[in-house]
Structure 1
């Protein structure tokens, strides 16, 4: 076998190459390559509209016609051919518009037909200035139109048509390239948008009984080659040539999707998908695309505040706020730190160092959500310091795996880029299994297989997978563990044990962008930065030496739930909170009580929240658009980014913490952090490096039968509407505060429903009232055929104050009654 490298550096078999001539240039490409791609390899750009490298070829627009003459080998054609659907052949001769009058005339003719009914509204079209039709009409079209000279009248339609609340259609601009319909069907799996009618009446339409409901609909706008599809948010807001573009990283999940931020005069106008083949390819979720208005809401904090003697918050200067915060924390006694999960890796490192160096405590935990005692050990032994360079699971591995098992993870709702990769992989033969209470819409779109498990039974179900031959788990299997698994006793331990028994590879997929970076930075009560265990004396010495302190606290600290309990009991007197929403925590009422009970509260926040209203010092911090930083993806891949803006009214969390630490040191408590900028923190992180000591021993294999709550066996829950088991997770679009400011985006969120079995529906009817130990909620009921008996599912944050604050904790029992009962 003879190998050579292609233009991407990948080795290809020379015996599998095809040689052809394009515009007089000989080129060798892999067989089955399309002519339009082969032309690109020799630097020839053939005009096109329907062609897209990530979509199946369709040959709809005919703009890419080329001349393929007979070279005496039977490889020619009597008429021009669409280069986007024509595979190369040995000895083929191709002449593009650059060398062939036949091809040039054919392309001009197609362009003339396209412009017959296309409106000449470029000055008001959102695509004007970045429009392929505009560009190619000049480069590959005629100088004048015979249609206009004949006095013809262009076709018009009422406009715009709402494909969804966010996506608007101007039908007369459409060139019928089918990019939008192919993306929806092939990539996202949401085939509610299609070409309807025939001939001159053909147009884009939606199923009249269902809206275009998709978490990825904004991608159809971006790949539309004309201005036919626009967004309600950006429509008529700006011209492309007025915008400044800055590359960035999406902050709404742990996928690390590349985006482009287009801004003008200090204001973000729109966000587009970046092109990153290793991560998100060219696609992003609607949340990543449209949810950016939260940073400029009316309640944005723009100056520090301290609580006055009359109990109200008053404005303060930065030096005063630092001094008041330091004095209050020093007088409060023992202090806990709750950083939250929105942080960059640099900010998380600052919180970790601040807790140990300035406050002398290991009471720090980023997990502002339901957690479990085993989770910290799982993260320390199975997750930290893993990455693509160390053989960790990557996006490419998801496509190559024979089987992918989802454990407590719903990718379509929690990790959009992972969902799109898995759907792509499933179309090529990858099996997707999901341990869950029912087959979600996303699982069905991946042709996945449900492994039924009621909340609380996941450990026994996961343990049984290794024994079930029909699943065939082996070294070609990837286990994707969601953070929801931490709410089920023993489930994380069972997942790690399953990986060891079968040889499968394991990856942890948190929901928030900052969670993985917080693990690496040591924002856990048992872990120091760089993966160093708090319990290891050598690890403590390494960190203390780097930070310039004599020693670090030896005892593992309190986790987030224990910090809350200690504040209520008075064992802790103060707390530093960064971006924590009490309604996301395991017990929202207890968290609010802890904030009221604390002797001193310091809040680092972007906008006014329940935490800032209780705080003694409020310090405004910068959103991701206003600072540099790094997000670490679920793979362990660092994704650095630069600031888009510099806002004088807010500072990065790390700078705020450095200021408080300096004031604490002046009061004789702790030492300064030794950094003030992102570059300083990165240098300190590199100096400390990663720990190369022995990893904590993995937890022992669980005894599944002892972990399941009473009434749960074999993945089932006991029946009876008086005590049904509550299953829940967040949908991608919900009531989250980072989606504030875009009403069109909010309007595309899926309606909250209570999913029940057919038997339960027959008892309770179309509307149900669920009652738990924290409140009641009334929702429409929807039958879910494969829902585990004895389980009811509701979305976690799509109504009222959310499930955790207003109903019950996940896995607990709730009563389910008909609304009229």
Structure 2
């Protein structure tokens, strides 16, 4: 520790700290633009000049190391004169367009100019002109003359996003921030550059000219889109959400959010939004109706199914973006009606996973512990797209020596160094894990499990085993694709055996904002009930569907829609008309996360409750209230809750941590493998749920481009195809016309074809064998 004095106050800071850090520890504000606590020090702007005794000139607080006995003055006459001089230079070329600037009212330059700027400029020459830059559908760079070259956006891309998408051209007064050869900024974290920009050079394109910042009400919320549960500030004008920005929470999302969290609000007020209850008549036509009539129609329809076919012909399907309260009442309603067919995991293809996992699967550690792991193996995950903020934490860990390995079916670049990797077709993942376990056992003179006696580890398996050696904090993480696999229970068992062998922990990178909460709410089948996949495959007579859009949210969307259409009665609790108009008999307009109170439980088991942030759209009602009223109309016990908090407290009272367990009871073994070409199906980051799919700016990004049949060069050559050829892809369920695309990242013997698109809906399941021929 070193001790110094700042403005007469003594302070101790760790060796290597800068004067800026010491000032912050004392609560002293030093004006600055380029400094940011999460970014490297650039010392570009010079606004933080301070007086250091015995130094010949003013020094930048952000780049001056603190030393023992140093005496610093941040607001002395000399320091303030230096700061005012810097401000004069910064304002020389800055345009006077505050009245039309979206940053107006929350602009650091505007604020500091009041304290350190002069009332008139001595600069009489022409201001420089910098042309606007194309940066894609999310970031507006239309007013680049405002840029003060703090390089926060450049450093963010390199250090946090992991990819240098912005840089600086030229020198001196001709310097310009620009994207690489005019390309769009495509990082899944790119929107944070908007928050970091201290002036109005980079602004939100969807928010452009929508409102002034002082007109917006700010309300806290929680993201429903991935398992981190990022904390948000939802900004509202009148009845509409106009902007979403991060709420800083160092334990969860730090000060970042993903673009999916930031821009999904643009899907809230589309023409597709369901505003009133609707009932389908005998001729198949939809009619708006009152809530009372719609709810009575639901009661009649479900009672008729029960009377004619028995309660076991009723099924309830939720979604991992539904709140704990909604899933609790959905499960309570279904079981009170006599059925145990309730599930929220529409992509779960292995019924054996429930019996293999008697506890609630979770991350297996806190997010803070996750950030401090030194050895990690990630299995079956499109990490950057599935879990963008957890991927960012691993990116920072890799800088400090964490070794990260992958077993996957598509070797996407995680934008950090990969210690080892084994890329295999989906059916080969259980055996790849077995190979790593055998390689570890042989390298450490341990006994090879009998089930793996015939396994010969590959070179890549040996490298993965070696990458896990020597760590004190080791974890084996199962991603979304691994959990969705038809052999998920076997993958989990093999992963647990490997984790135990290397002295690490098993964790689940769960999908959606409330997977852990869904388990805690009891929205999974118990006494012989059917999973969502079984309900939609076998076909039931009656369905209640909450928040889900089965065509794109389920693993076999076409089959799901057909089963729902064949049902005697189906009711959809949905926010969007097109999500259910094809198959439902009654559609009830329910609130998305911005218009309801509720609770999400993130992957680490953290309970995060929130209130509605905007007024309900049309006749929209919170889903938990709709389910409670349905329980009352059915005259069932246990539906007397007046607030969402009382529903939450019946589930999340005490002992959540005791219920979280990744203990796998199933046996280890080898997978069946597959002989033919296998499908690798990723869920693109902006196709993950109904709200995101309707966010037009996100659909304009490269991540949402139309699906293609992506394969490596060997597979392409083996099929006699060339990059760009039109092909016809067939599965056991149907066929799709796509374009072949060369992708070296895809495993041998596999085709990567994204799911959750209308174009790939006929192919059915995300797993299984497919054939390809030239169209």
| TM-score relative to the length of structure 2 | 0.90
Name the residue aligned to 1:163: 135
Mapped partners of 2:574, 2:183: distance in 1: 40
Give the structure 1 partner of residue 276 of structure 2. 303
Structure 2 vs 1, CA of residues 171 and 153 (structure 1 numbering), >3 Å: closer, same or farther? same
Instruction: Indicate whether 1:121 and 2:74 are aligned.
Output: no
Report matched runs for 1:781-792 at 5 Å: 781-785=740-744, 787-792=746-751
Alpha-carbon displacement from aligned partner over 1:136-156 (angstroms, at most 9, x marks no partner) = 111123333211xxx311112
2:683 is matched with 730
Identify if the C-alpha distance between structure 1 residues 742 and 330 changes in structure 2 by more than 3 Å, giving closer, same or farther. closer
Q: 1:632 to 1:156 in 2, by over 3 A?
A: same
| Native 8 Å contact 2:550 2:560 kept in 1 | yes
Alpha-carbon offset, residue 399 of structure 1: 2.0
Equivalent position to 2:359, from 373, 376, 381: 381
In the alignment, structure 1 residue 195 sits paired with structure 2 residue 163: no
- Per the alignment, residue 534 of structure 1 pairs with none
Look up the match of 2:714: 759
Find the aligned partners of 2:654 and 2:606 in 1 and give their Cα distance: 19
Cα deviation code 1:263-287 (max 9, x no counterpart): 1011111111111111111111111
Q: Report whether the alignment pairs 1:772 with 2:730.
A: yes
Q: Who is 1:682 aligned against?
A: 648
The 3 A distance-change label for structure 1 pair 524 and 429 is same
The partner residue of 2:375 within 403, 406, 411 is 403
Instruction: Indicate how the Cα distance of structure 1 residues 789 and 615 shifts in structure 2: closer, same or farther if over 3 A, else same.
Output: closer
Aligned mate of 1:796, from 755, 761, 764: 755
Q: How far apart, CA to CA, are the structure 2 residues paired with 1:61 and 1:645?
A: 39
Structure 2 equivalent of residue 564 of structure 1: 536
CA distance, structure 1, for counterparts of residue 107 and residue 335 of structure 2: 54
325, 346, 349: which one aligns with 2:328: 349
What pairs up with 1:419-568 in 2 under 5 angstroms?
A: 419-442=391-414, 444-469=415-440, 470-472=466-468, 476-486=473-483, 487-489=485-487, 490-526=490-526, 555-567=527-539
Out of 612, 635, 641, the residue aligned to residue 604 of structure 2 is 635
Q: Which residue of 1 aligns with 2:445?
A: none
Counterpart of 1:330?
303
SS of residue matched to 1:291: helix
Instruction: Choose 592-601 or 744-753, whichever is displaced more.
Output: 744-753
CA shift at 1:309, angstroms?
4.1
Moved more, 692-701 or 116-125: 692-701
Number of the residue aligned with 1:749: 702
**How many aligned residue pairs are there?**
731
Aligned residue in 2 for 1:50? 34
Distance in 1 (CA, whole Å) between partners of 2:473 and 2:645 is 40
Q: Give 1:382 deviation, angstroms.
A: 5.7
| Between 653-662 and 209-218, the greater mean CA deviation after superposition | 209-218
Moved more, 754-763 or 764-773: 754-763
Distance 1:694 1:516 in 2: 8
Separation in 1, partners of 2:259, 2:657: 38
Does the residue aligned with 2:69 lie in a helix, a strand or coil?
coil
Secondary structure of 1:180's aligned partner: helix
Structure 2: distance between partners of 1:425 and 1:694? 25
Please identify, of 594-603 and 108-117, the stretch whose mean Cα deviation from structure 2 is larger.
594-603
Decide whether aligned partners of structure 1 residues 739 and 207 sit closer, same or farther in structure 2, where only a CA change above 3 A counts. Answer: same
* Kept in 2: contact 1:600–1:615 (CA 8 A): yes
**Would you say the 8 A contact 1:255–1:634 is kept in 2?**
yes
Unaligned 5+ segments in structure 2 are: 441-465
Q: Is the 8 A contact 1:195 1:205 kept in 2?
A: yes
Query: 2:624 maps to what in 1?
Result: 654
> Which residue does 1:578 correspond to in 2?
546
The Cα shift of 1:237 comes to 1.5
Q: 1:414 aligns with which of 386, 397, 417?
A: 386
Contact 2:374–2:402 at 8 Å: present in 1 too? yes
Of residues 161, 174, 186, the one that matches 1:213 is: 186
Aligned residue in 2 for 1:268: 241
- Aligned partner of 2:446 in structure 1 is none
Determine the structure 1 residue equivalent to 2:215: 242
1:379 deviates by 4.3
Q: Distance in 2 between matches of 1:349 and 1:495?
A: 31
- Decide whether the 8 Å contact of 1:341 with 1:366 is kept in 2: yes
**Shift in alpha-carbon separation, 1:784–1:40, aligned structure 2, 3 A:** same
Structure 2 Cα separation of the partners of residues 566 and 779 of structure 1 = 30
**1:689–1:370 CA distance, 2 compared to 1 (3 A):** closer
Q: 1:446 & 1:382 partners in 2: Cα distance?
A: 32
Q: Distance in 1 between matches of 2:376 and 2:663?
A: 26
- RMSD of the TM alignment (CA)? 2.3
Match in the other structure for 1:18:
2
Residues 502 and 54 of structure 1: is their aligned pair in 2 closer, same or farther, counting only changes over 3 Å? same
Structure 1: gaps spanning 5 or more residues? 1-16, 71-76, 527-554, 712-722
Match of 1:35 among 6, 14, 19: 19
Distance in 1, matches of 2:682 and 2:168, equals 35
Deviation at residue 308 of structure 1 after TM alignment = 3.1
Q: Answer whether contact 1:262 1:271 (CA < 8 A) is retained.
A: yes
Deviations 1:62-100 (A, max 9, x none): 110111122xxxxxx21111111112111111111x2x2
* Closer, same or farther: CA 588–808 of 1 in aligned 2, 3 Å: closer
Question: Cα offset for 1:128?
Answer: 0.9
Change (3 A) 1:220 1:691: closer
Q: In structure 2, how many angstroms separate the alpha carbons of the residues matched to 1:611 and 1:369? A: 18
- Asked whether the 8 Å contact 2:267–2:696 carries over to 1, the reply is no
Distance across 2 between alignment mates of 1:57 and 1:50:
8
Distance 1:810 1:594, change over 3 A: closer
